[in-house]
A and B are shown apart, each in its own frame.
Chain A
Amino acid sequence: MKTKIAKIIALQIAAVMALGLFAGCGQNDDGTTPTTTANNGSAVEENNNTETRPNRVIFGSTTGISGDLGNAWWTNNADDKVVRDLINDYSTISFNKSGELVLNGTVTKSFESVINDDGSKTFTVGINEGLVYNNGEPITAADYVAYLLVEFSPQALEAGAAVAPDLVVGGPEYQSGEVNYISGLRLLDEYTYAITISSDYIPYYFDESYASLSPLYLPMYASADLTVKDDGQGAYLDGGSLVAEEIDAARWTYEGRVSAGPYQLVSLDIAASEAVVEINPNYAGNFEGQKPSIEQIVLVKSVVETEFDAIKTGSIDLLNALTDGNEINTALDLVEEGGYEVCAFERSGYGRIMFQCDFGPTQFAAVRQAVAYLLDRTEFANQFCKGHGSVVHGPYGLSMWMYKDSEELFANEINTYAYNPAKAVELLEADGWVLDANGNPYESGVRYKEVTAEEAGDYPLNVTLSDGRVLMPLHIMWSSSENNPVSELLAVMLANGQQTADAGMEIEQAVMSFDDLLGYLYRDSSQGEKYGVPTYGMYNLAADFLPTYDQSYYYTSDPDLVALGYNMEYLFDDELDRLSMDMVYGVDPGDTATYLDYWQKFILRWNELLPSIPLYSNVNHTLYADWLEGYEQNSVWDFQQAILYASIPSAE
């Protein structure tokens, strides 16, 4: 009997595996099943270029699809955005591979602008004839006008869309329901529309982006038979009303989704976190007329622990934008083994030490500069990025055209703050950090500086001597989030570094949750009184830049704006504020020379004041099977753009 039971148990274990294997058998008789997940065979064999394979790429990302395909009015996650971008295009203005705004010639026949007497600016846009949706229905100017009429509608607001209607003349009145038309939006004829931007937003260097619209297929957003009309006072929707629930439902419509992009949605399975898109046969091309050649793209969720096993076994063909140094090294090992390629590109942003510059020691530029000299940033970037990072010296990314045009200037004029503890001490002494806690000349320990009442503020670590003099210690309070490898490395290389102590500086680390950190950063007393009190002068955070580089308002002195989270560095410098504003509001669109001039001045001023210290800028790597050819990605040219130019020559 005992032997019999043992046999039964053994059989059950075997049955589990057999059932799974049985379920896996017979999967190769269907074209939709990946040949690469078949049993046996090495990674190299599976990626052999001579093998015929499906004309398909399986894109893996750790974010995972949430299924929100709503327009930009909703902030959908990175993977949802990939799907959204793959199935939608035909905006009148696009970004090119360098991150510059360009006219989308496939869509835009004409693009004219005129400044009106009241300071507003009207863009008149002509659309090419012959464009169609993936279902074959024609695209006209009415579809572009419909985009704004839905976006600015009271119902979209009710559905939770984050939009700014005051951009367009008549937008606020339309959104409030006061009128049923947008006076600044005109449907001029079947293939021409006009949009008038409010004078509050003009001039603006990137103002063409305001006039960029995409077509919107109205029947997907409303059950009523709506049409766009214009009787002379502005465009409006005729034939019924929009409904908030229907607008919201359009975000989650997958079956038969009508779109106008290089691909069309075939399926989206939230439970499996998978989206499948296939070539849209009606697509006329991107702004350069480029059409995709890869028939199908499958977007799946990957996990860090198994993503390389997944790519080795063919469950994934492409791992997008790896940033972690260890992951990149594993990817490079795979490339060395053969069968894979990587595309490396600079991140348009960086990890940084951020100072709050209106209280305590960090209010003094010399202290911030001394911190920079006390940290070997090159070594920091090497260690943190495992050799796949670089160091920048201002708020820019190495892939930006502005940086590329300024390399020579920066080589001579930008301060790199190369590791130099002696220079740090020199700066501190020149700034008055020459006393000890008793007001005697400094010899060892923490340095002190005699400060004015205004400089002293309420900094709790200040010392008041019997003669009334107020001394501020060179003691910086640092807020760092928990489980943060950057914080750990900073603690070792800076806060606890001997060079810091030798310079007479103390950096006290307080580890806290990220929510706590944000509370202190924003000085948000609504979350608790303690947050309203300036406490931490130093944080470690990250910053990323959009292709439309715009730092306006981020150095404002307006207390209302500061309270809203603008100027989180609390650096109130008129020149920096003026440069950041003039860069975009004082330059005519297209005047790249003046824009560049402001940009360079802004960067140099920033570099001098150093409200933040850039620590590292990652070199991201996308790993993919080597049968994918022509794949070139960068920080402003994502997978969804790059894949249009790639191909699989060995595809069946």
Chain B
Amino acid sequence: MKKYVLKRILYMVFVLVIVSFLMYCLYNLIPNDPARAELEGIKKTLKPEQYEVMYQQLRDEMGLDDPILVRYGRWIGVLPEKRTGEFNGILQGNMGYSSFFKVDVTEVIPSRMVNTIFINVFVTILALAITIPLGIVCAVRKRGKFDNIVQVFTIIGYSIPIYIIALLFIWLFGVTLRWFPVMGIKTPGSNYTGLRAFLDQLYYLALPILVMTFASLGGMTRYVRTAMIDVLGMDYIRTARAKGLREKVVVYSHAWRNALLPVITVIIGWFLSIFSGSVIVENTFGLNGMGNLYIIGLNNHDYELVLAVQMFYTVISLVGALIMDLSYGLVDPRVRVDK
């Protein structure tokens, strides 16, 4: 097991290096002059001589005239910085400088990450709490009236783009019924603390949480239903029923535990996705989360920020894949991960 994990970690490092280099090169292929962009806003207030000095100074500081391998080396942290002569890259914990926010990327991400995690934790728990029992009921009542109704709704929910669901919910619960605020993350101007702040935030985030939960019901419900239907058709289920076991025991002890095997990877994937923000929902509700940050980075050519976010997700994906593989081996004795 240890050997397997170590081998996987080594692979991960290798993949990370390749991915980071490819991403860095891709973003640097985009024709873009960050020094010019940085000064564009104040160009009209400067005399040409001042502009030229500042422009060249910025180009020099940013190392824009250096070969791409050198810049990559500095970004990663295996080559020293031009100005200070110190190693100060990703390996040293420096994820880069956000040209849009004018601060280090590591200072931009945490507050956004907190918002995203806050929303996603609720969404994940609620969605799983709803979809798993719903999928089980549908499988048990296969082709019954309840199952048919749920199938129709899950297909509709699965097919409708999330921004349509968001706008419909805003119209219904925000504008018409006035149950929830349509935007924001807390009461404007409030300075609540403790439980009050938590409840206030929950009230403001209720609508996006509802939207994301609703949008995620269809897929998982159908996934659980299919897994359960497969298992309920197995011989050992028929044997269990023939033995006279109660239906509850058959469904939960015998069927669900086996149906869980294909579902477990999806569930773990969901928990890992709590770090990734929903670009559409966060932008629709004006929430400062990771998805919104990513769009801001792209729209403003803040490539160091975008690269940092992408590197973070690359790491999450690789670690997630490892956890999924390991967990699969843990829940299913037939799968041996150390071979």
Contact = CB atoms under 8 A, between A and B. Distances in A.
A303 interface: yes
Contacts of A164: 46-47, 50, 54
A166 B50 contact: yes
Interface stretch (A17-25, A232-240, A283-291): A17-25
Given A162-B42, A550-B44, A23 B203 contact: yes
A515 B285 contact: no
Contact of B206 (A12, A21, A251, A513): A21
Contact of B184 (A67, A68, A296, A300): A300
B241 interface: no
B31 A527 contact: yes
A553 B38 contact: no
B203 A306 contact: no
B183 A310 contact: yes
Given A23-B200, A66-B102, A524-B31, A309 B187 contact: no
A70 to B, nearest CB: 8
B44 A305 contact: no
Given A16-B209, A274-B188, A303 B179 contact: no
Given A20-B203, A76-B102, A162-B39, A271 B115 contact: yes
B50 A12 contact: no
A524 B247 CA distance: 74
B38 A162 contact: yes
A300 B285 contact: no
A302 interface: yes
Interface string B49-68: 11110110000000011000
A298 interface: yes
A24 B191 contact: no
B184 A305 contact: no
B191 A313 contact: no
Contacts of A274: 184-186, 188-189
A75 B42 contact: yes
A76 B51 CA distance: 18
A545 B175 CA distance: 39
A340 to B, nearest CB: 15
6 contacts: A6-B137, A9-B134, A37-B187, A166-B50, A301-B286, A526-B33
A271 B203 contact: no
B302 to A, nearest CB: 11
B137 A2 contact: yes
A267 interface: yes
A313 B54 contact: no
Interface in B255-312: 283-286, 288, 301
Interface of B: 30-33, 36, 38-39, 41-52, 54-55, 64-65, 100-103, 111-112, 114-115, 126, 129-130, 133-134, 136-137, 140-141, 146, 163, 167, 170-171, 174-175, 177-191, 199-203, 205-207, 209-210, 213, 247-248, 251, 283-286, 288, 301
A251 B107 CA distance: 14
A518 interface: yes
Contact of A13 (B103, B111, B130): B130
B190 A33 contact: yes
A20 B188 contact: no
A542 interface: no
A445 interface: no
A40 B178 contact: yes
A190 B203 CA distance: 54
Nearest to B286: A303
A564 B48 contact: yes
Nearest to B247: A1
A272 interface: yes
Contacts of A23: 199-203, 206
Contacts of B52: 560, 564
B180 A564 contact: no
Contact of B133 (A8, A17, A41): A8
B206 A17 contact: yes
A180 B210 CA distance: 61
Contacts of A516: 31
A302 B48 CA distance: 37
Contact of B103 (A41, A201, A252): A252
Given A313-B175, A315-B188, A306 B206 contact: no
Given A2-B141, A162-B54, A20 B189 contact: no
B30 A16 contact: no
Nearest to A556: B48
- In the A-B complex, the 10 residue pairs with the closest CB atoms: A20-B206, A23-B203, A24-B203, A271-B111, A164-B50, A519-B31, A527-B31, A75-B41, A23-B199, A23-B202
A306 B180 CA distance: 13
Given A20-B179, A24-B180, A305-B283, 6 more contacts: A2-B141, A33-B190, A56-B189, A516-B31, A522-B33, A531-B31
Nearest to A34: B188
A440 B181 CA distance: 71
A211 to B, nearest CB: 15
A562 B144 CA distance: 76
B54 to A, nearest CB: 6
Nearest to B213: A16
Contact of B285 (A17, A306, A313, A518): A306
Contacts of A519: 31
Contact of B167 (A72, A305, A553): A305
Given A2-B141, A519-B31, A39 B181 contact: no
A19 B301 contact: no
Contact of A306 (B38, B170, B209, B210): B170
Interface in A524-547: 524, 526-528, 531, 546
Interface string A251-283: 110000000000000110111111010000000
Contact of A20 (B49, B115, B209, B251): B209
Nearest to B83: A158
B181 A315 contact: yes
Contacts of A312: 175
A298 B191 CA distance: 12
B330 to A, nearest CB: 27
B210 A17 contact: yes
B228 to A, nearest CB: 12
A645 interface: no
Interface string A33-70: 11001111100000000000000101000001011101
Contact of A546 (B36, B44, B202): B44
A30 B190 contact: yes
A400 B247 CA distance: 82
Contacts of B32: 515, 518, 527
Nearest to B284: A305
A565 interface: yes
A565 B52 CA distance: 10
A513 B32 CA distance: 11
Given A201-B47, A301-B286, A5 B181 contact: no
